[in-house]
Structure 1
Amino acid sequence: MYKVSKTYKNLRFGSRFLTFIVMGLMIVGIISFISFLDFKISSIVNDWEDKVYKGVAINNLDVSGLSESALKDFLVESFSHNLSDGNVEFRLGNESVVFSYRDLGLTYDYDKAIEQAFSFSKNFTYGEKISQIFNPSKKLNINLVEKFDINENIDDVYRILSEKFNIDPVDASVSILDGQVVVSESRNGLEIDKESLIKMVNDTSPSSASKNGIEVTTKSVDPKISSEVLGKINGKISSYTTTYKSSSTERATNVELSANSINGTILMPGESFSFNKVVGPRTRERGYKDAAIIVGNVYESGLGGGICQTSSTLHQAVIRAGIVPTQRRNHTLPTSYMPLGFDAVVAWGSLDYVFKNPYNFPILIDVSTAGRTLTISIYGDVTAIDKTYSVVAETYESVPYTTKTINDNTLAKGKQVVEKNGVNGTRVRVYIVTKDKYTGEVLEKKHMWNDYYVPQQKVVRVGTK
């Protein structure tokens, strides 16, 4: 009896233990299933985070499940051919220009629609997200809105509007009439404001633009040279005159062409003048002729001969206006129109005459060639000048010429014929003398240049016959 009872007890304990094991396994299984299910659902939810949720449509087309880039491609492909046709009138005063919707870059506001599509699920709870994915109950239909995006076409639109509406500013000009300074009035211009145009077009709905048009916005454009600035030119500061009455017709032509090129030149404060840049290349096409020029140490015939008289006359007028040139060279040989130390040689592509306006007012170069007399004057604010300036050249060395003999079998033996006379070379020191404008007192005598004019060789033919 005892053995039977003990056996029964053991069986009961074993049955209970087995039950516990089975129940434990069931619980573990359920927990594992729930964990797996939660993981799976969480993965699905996470997978939808960068996609449009179910229930969203754009223009009644289901777009759920699409990524942002895929949605953009889908919308462009589906709707870009459905854009409206229309025109927009741009007006300024009584003038107008009409552009088509296409000209103004009509498109749909795809980005706004995409933003709305992805914002649909932004505030969903986790449970709402699960419910919307597996059993979508909420719906959203987004209507595409047309808009202008003129950025790509702005250059063409701006060019056409500018040609129609822009008004160029008018610079003031200055001239000398009977010795008096005459300044013309400057005028401001009008220019379409490009940045305002872009914003105005892009911010206006196509329907409103088509119905009401767009009023063009302009901004004022100042002239480069105002009459107020040129009004500071009130009189003649300096002048210098040379003559070319004995010159050939060809040389006179060159002098006058170059003089006309610099006539009327205005230099603003700090602006530089380059003779070669202003006068330009001396070519036959521009009317220049062959005349005597100095090449090295000899006179030859060359294109543009005579223009150095213009540059040298200008140089003296500039010095007398209290302006020191930044580039200046003397000729290698003396000239007939200018004292030693007073000249300024120029040659296209190599030698230039350059100076800079040092004053706080503009200056004007005025030229006259009446009666084959070249007069160059510098005009400016005479009230701001309290000094006068002049040039003094002092010879400090004479360089003897050499003699070259050439045997000539056409001359009797021992007979000498001077083919070319020699001329001694000269070295001069060039000074600028500054005086008080009102008292004439010398304030300064400043050494500026050492000019050298080379000797010209004497040539003698000696007979050998």
Structure 2
Amino acid sequence: MKKNIGNITAAMAVFMAVAGFGIGSRAGSFEVKAEKQEAKADDKKSTDSDAKEEETTKEQESTQEAVTEDEGIKAERRLPEGFSVSGLDDGVKTMTALSEALEKLQNKVDEKKFILSVNREQIESSFSDLGASIENKEYILSEAGKYTSGNMIERFAKSAGLIENPESITPDIEFNEEALNAFFKRANSKNPNAPVNATIKRVNGAFEITPEHDGYAVDKESTVDKLKEAILKSGEDTIEAQVTKQAATVKAEDLKDIKDVLGTFTTNYSSSTSERATNIAVGTEKMDGVLLMPGETISGYERMQPFTIKNGYKMAKAYQNGLVVDSVGGGACQIATTLYQAALRAEVKITERKNHSMIVGYVQPSGDAAIAGDYKDIKVTNNRSTPIYVEAVTSGRNVTFTIWGKEDRSGDRTIEFVSEVINETPKGKTYKDDPSKPVGYVRKESDGHKGRVSKLWKVVKENGVEVSRELVSSDTYRMADDIYIRGTRVDAPAPTAAPVENTEGGGETANDAPADNGPADNSVDVSQGPGFDPNINAGQ
């Protein structure tokens, strides 16, 4: 009992010292020191000087009280002995310092690089590439806050147990799972002994399957543990990855049932320019031959990008801010649209799809899918229990997507997709004045489009009888005017020459005859301009 009292007394003494309070000399006696000044004035001898002295004294009292209060706040935010966070300096003694130290630790994590060694192959990377973050930062601050909140007695009660049972928290480092998987995939690609998955390819109208073989791959769990250990150390680390014998994740047996057409769709681009046709051929080839295991996703943008000349694309027409403009890779949206339509018919999951800003002419209303940078994409996910295969081909100015797999839907069941136009807004004309061109000059700069609001419905029939009608999407397409350049320059008439006196009296000179300026040209120069693309605007 005496020992416990002694421990409590010692703990209280330590706490009071840390908190910034004075301690009396007798055991068990604590005296909180606080100085206050009092100003005394003699009522009978009050003078103007005394009043000033009293005012000064009050200001000093106010200042002293503010200092005392500030010190009290600082004391309350001070961390007790026995509480610590692994990986942080011992000098972290307050809540403010702890918060700043955790922020610095996250910055250190973001900047830290490492090397993973796999069978003598070295893969350089950084922890920021793995999406590393301190997952329990808020927990650490919350746990520390328990010892710095409440009054003095409450804080003492919470802190007393730390003397015999100190609390030390280790920052919990978590990685982004997608980034981590991509890193291990890259690491195993440099590993000559890694397992190889079975593959499938459609060649000359038939499927060819290459069998898998097992091998030795990076052990993910143990390597992640090593990465977490290295992240809190100083300097760049070389981590020796542990490899274990692993089986291939895709086996030939899994692929043998890919033989049924789940959905197919074709669009035509016969009216496109040669540049746009090239882009469709190049992009379609990049989309061909994709195997999607259950849960996997194909992204049109990721497969076709970068849209550069170096990657095989050409300048062609595309939509931008309500105009048809020249863009590298113009035509990629028709590829995205064709995949979208095939995926609808295969009834696989459409993870992402966005309509164009304006209408297109190669598919029914609300049946399109756009690609624009990385903010408009077509993504299709295999939500089936068996793998699917995406085939994409061009032939005779047609692009066709076919999704293959194992058919498990009833033969008596059919689906169709019906467009419904809710309303349309006719396009108008907008003129842009050009003072460098004469009055009467008109040229079409960009072809417009009517606005539209439409819906796409999925209609399911069994034995020819409709059993359900489901809304797929409701889309709005903006209206854009035809844009014309109109000349506004008014040319001054040519000055009339002064008559010349005929001294010989022999008839009129050429100057007397009216000038022959030719017939007035009242024709209007109207061209389709650089924005015209009949494939995009057909019939619109």
Matches of 2:280 and 2:371, distance apart in 1: 13
1:448 paired to 2:472: yes
Q: 1:169 to 1:441 in 2, by over 3 A?
A: farther
Choose the corresponding residue for 1:256, options 264, 281, 295.
281
1:237 equivalent in alignment to 2:265: no
The secondary structure found in structure 2 opposite 1:337 is: coil
Query: Using the alignment, how far apart are the partners of 1:193 and 1:312 within structure 2?
Result: 41
Conserved? CA contact 1:185–1:227, under 8 Å? yes
In 2, Cα distance between the equivalents of 1:290 and 1:277? 20
Tell me, in whole angstroms, the C-alpha distance in 2 between the residues paired with 1:263 and 1:430: 27
The residue type paired with residue 417 of structure 2 is V
The question of 1:363 aligning with 2:388 is answered: yes
Distance verdict in 2 for CA 1:385–1:416, change over 3 Å = same
SS at match of 1:451: strand
For 1:462 and 1:191, locate their aligned partners in 2 and report how far apart those are by CA, in whole Å. Answer: 71
Once residues 276 and 362 of structure 1 are traced to their aligned partners in structure 2, the CA distance between those partners, rounded to angstroms, is 22
Please report how far the alpha carbon of residue 417 of structure 1 lies from its aligned counterpart in structure 2 after TM superposition.
Answer: 8.2
Matches within 5 A, 1:315-394: 315-384=340-409, 387-394=413-420
**1:267 aligns to what?**
292
CA–CA separation in structure 2 for the residues paired with 1:221 and 1:351: 38
Q: For residue 8 of structure 1, what is the aligned residue in structure 2? A: none
TM-aligned CA deviation for residue 384 of structure 1: 4.7
Cα 1:363/1:402, change in 2 over 3 Å: same
- Tell me which residue corresponds to 1:401: 427
2:439 counterpart of 1:411: yes
Give the equivalent residue in structure 1 for 2:481. Answer: 457
Q: Which amino acid aligns with 1:450?
A: S
Q: Is the CA contact 1:390–1:433 (under 8 Å) kept in the aligned structure 2?
A: yes
Q: Distance in 1 between matches of 2:442 and 2:277?
A: 38
Measured in 1, the distance between the counterparts of 2:349 and 2:448 equals: 34
Structure 1, residues 368-410: CA drift from partner, whole Å, max 9, x if none?
1122321110001014565443321110111233443455772
CA gap of 1:454–1:168, structure 2 versus 1, over 3 A, is same
1:433 to 2:433 alignment: no
Counterpart mapping for 1:138-157 below 5 A:
none
Contact 2:348 2:384 in 1 (8 A): no
Aligned to 2:438, what secondary structure does the other structure show? coil
Amino acid at match of 1:410: P
The question of whether the paired residues in 2 share the 8 Å contact of 1:274 and 1:353 is answered with yes
Contact 1:251 1:305 in 2 (8 A): yes
Cα deviations by residue, 1:133-172 (Å, 9 ceiling, x for unpaired): xxxxxxxxxxxxxxxxxxxxxxxxxxxxx99x97443322
Secondary structure, aligned partner of 2:340: helix
- The residue identity in structure 1 corresponding to 2:424 is S
Distance 1:326 1:271 in 2: 11
Q: Would you say the 8 A contact 1:255–1:307 is kept in 2? A: yes
Percentage of pairs with the same residue:
28
Q: In the aligned structure 2, how far is the partner of 1:220 from the partner of 1:416?
A: 74
What is the aligned partner in structure 2 of residue 118 from structure 1? none
Aligned partners of 1:421 and 1:167: how far apart in 2?
58
Shift of 1:324: 3.9
Contact 2:259 2:404 survives alignment (8 Å)? yes
| Preserved CA contact (<8 Å) 2:359 2:451 | no
- Say if 2:348 and 2:381, in contact at 8 Å, map to a contact too: yes
Superposition deviation, residue 450 in structure 1:
1.4
Q: 5+ unaligned residues in a row in structure 1: which ranges?
A: 1-161, 195-217
Contact 1:322 1:389 in 2 (8 A): no
**What aligned pairs does 1:69-88 form with structure 2 within 5 A after superposition?**
none
Q: Deviations over 1:307-356 (max 9, x none)?
A: 11111100000001012412111112222322221110011222111121
Superposed CA RMSD in Å reads 3.4
Distance in structure 2 (CA, Å) of the matches to 1:421 and 1:168: 55
SS at match of 2:472: strand
Unaligned stretches of 5+ in structure 2? 1-187, 221-242, 491-540
Who is 1:284 aligned against?
A: 309
Asked whether the 8 Å contact 2:323–2:446 carries over to 1, the reply is no
In structure 1, give the amino acid aligned to 2:439: L
- Return the offset for 1:231: 1.8
Alpha-carbon separation, structure 2, partners of 1:366 and 1:396:
34
TM-score by length of 1: 0.53
2:333 match: secondary structure = helix
Distance in 2 (alpha carbons) for counterparts of 1:443 and 1:178: 39
Cα gap change, 1:385/1:269 in structure 2, threshold over 3 Å: closer, same or farther? Answer: farther
Q: TM-score, normalised by structure 2?
A: 0.46
CA 1:383–1:395 in 2, change beyond 3 Å: closer, same or farther? same
Aligned partner of residue 424 in structure 2, secondary structure: strand
- The equivalent of 1:126 in structure 2 is none
Q: 1:185 to 1:440 in 2, by over 3 A?
A: farther
Looking at structure 2, the residues matched to 456 and 325 of structure 1 have their Cα atoms a distance apart, in angstroms, of: 29
Q: Could you tell me how far 1:289 is from its partner in structure 2?
A: 1.3
1:193 Cα shift? 10
Q: In 2, Cα distance between the equivalents of 1:411 and 1:371?
A: 46
| Residues 282 and 348 in structure 1, CA contact (< 8 A), matched pair in contact too | no
Deviation at 1:183, TM superposition (A): 2.8
Matched, 1:185 2:215: no
For the residue of structure 2 that corresponds to 1:326, the secondary structure is strand
- State the 1:462 CA deviation: 8.4
Secondary structure in 1 matching 2:352: coil
Question: Is residue 2:196 matched to residue 1:170?
Answer: yes
In structure 1, C-alpha distance between the alignment counterparts of 2:315 and 2:393, rounded to whole Å: 23
Q: 1:188 to 1:423 in 2, by over 3 A?
A: closer
Q: 1:192 to 1:288 in 2, by over 3 A?
A: closer
Counterpart of 1:378, as a letter, is I
Tell me the residue number matched to 1:149.
Answer: none
Aligned length: 278
Deviation for aligned residue 1:463? 7.2
Cα pair distance change 1:292/1:416, threshold 3 Å? closer
| Distance (whole Å) between structure 2 residues aligned to residue 175 and residue 457 of structure 1 | 47
Contact 1:266 1:364 in 2 (8 A): yes
CA distance in 1, matches of 2:215, 2:430: 69
Tell me the distance in 2 between the aligned counterparts of 1:357 and 1:420.
41
